[in-house]
Amino acid sequence: MTLLAHARYCDEILVQTRRLAELVEDADLTLRVPGCPDWNLRELAVHVGGAHRWAGEIVRTRAAEDIPEDQVPDTGGPSGDDPAALAEWLAAGAAATAGALREAGPDAEVWTWAWERRTAFWARRMAHETAVHRADAALATGTVFEVASDLAADTITEWLQIVAFAQTEGDPEAAELRGGGRSLHLHATDVPGAEWLIEFGEEGFTWRHSHEKATVALRGPVTELMLAFNRRQKPDEGGLEVLGDRGLLDFWLERSSFG
């Protein structure tokens, strides 16, 4: 499974935000969000729109270091609780950020918090950030969530890279993802080649695309796999199947968070 094109990530920022805005515009903004239990729907939307503006400012200014969020204009969302105003604010932020990313191209050097210091990182990160939080909004509102299979698969790949990075940075939960002789296999049944093998070693974990027998396997449709792997639904929901040591899968899910 390969990365998507820079232009595609920019497109997805707009597509995912538009669909999120449609959910927000028709919903009760005080609804709690199961995937982010500390937030209601308005707070979720403000988080997404603020993240877009923050990343967009980093890209536009070619920042060489982090920009504090309080130095980024208009990250707090519109005043009041008008869903239409919130939806419009979301769309405006996404459009500005996608535009900045397109203008910069994928290879401009900028600050990121991760392993790659290029604008390509922010295009991919914001596309997946928006897609996963659109799933949060869909689950909160009882709406069916659908996403392109290649984007869902790449969301899983990026999340593995993030958790691996967290382990190298000394994140205490990620640091526990170790222990030789055990493995976890993710198998998307509806996308050829969309498989991941996570192997636990004494010093940490590694992962690769592979179809191999493992200590535990999680298999099913790629979108449902993506939701479960991002801890948005239980591993036995959405037509998913757990084969083998469920405890090892739970061990991973309980520790694969970052930030």
Same domain, 189 and 97: no
What number of other Cβ atoms are within 10 A of residue 32's Cβ?
Answer: 13
Does the structure show a pLDDT above 70 at 101? yes
Q: Is residue 141 part of a domain?
A: yes
- Give a yes or no: residue 1 inside a domain: no
Here the tokens at position 136 are 């949060």
141 and 160 co-located in one domain? no
Number of domains, the chain: 2
Residues 73 and 31 in one domain: yes
Domain limits for position 228: 150-255
Is the same domain home to 182 and 90? Answer: no
Per-residue pLDDT tens digits for 129-154: 999 999 999 999 999 999 999 999 99
pTM: 0.96
Give percent of the chain with pLDDT exceeding 90: 93
pLDDT above 70: percentage of residues in the chain? 98
Residue 62's domain is classified under what CATH number? 1.20.120.450
CA neighbor of 196 nearest in space, from 168, 159, 227, 165:
159
In a domain, 109, yes or no: yes
Q: Among 157, 192, 163, which residue's Cα sits nearest to residue 178?
A: 163
Contact 223, 152 (CB under 8 A): yes
Handedness of CA 37, 162, 258, 88 (dihedral sign): negative
Distance CA 127, CA 9 (A): 6
At 172-220, the pLDDT tens digits run 999 999 988 899 999 999 999 999 999 999 999 999 999 999 999 999 9
Residue 180 gets which letter from DSSP?
T
> Is pLDDT above 90 for 40?
yes
Structural domain ending residue among the three candidates 145, 160, 179: 145
Task: Let me know whether 68 and 90 are in one domain.
Answer: yes
- Confidence band of 80 (pLDDT split at 50, 70, 90): confident
Q: For residue 60, give the nearest of 130, 120, 110 by alpha carbon.
A: 110
Is residue 189 located within the same domain as residue 95?
A: no
**Whether 216 contacts 242, CB under 8 Å:** yes
Q: Are residues 122 and 22 in the same domain?
A: yes
Q: 1 pLDDT exceeds 70? A: no
Distance CA 55, CA 67 (A): 9
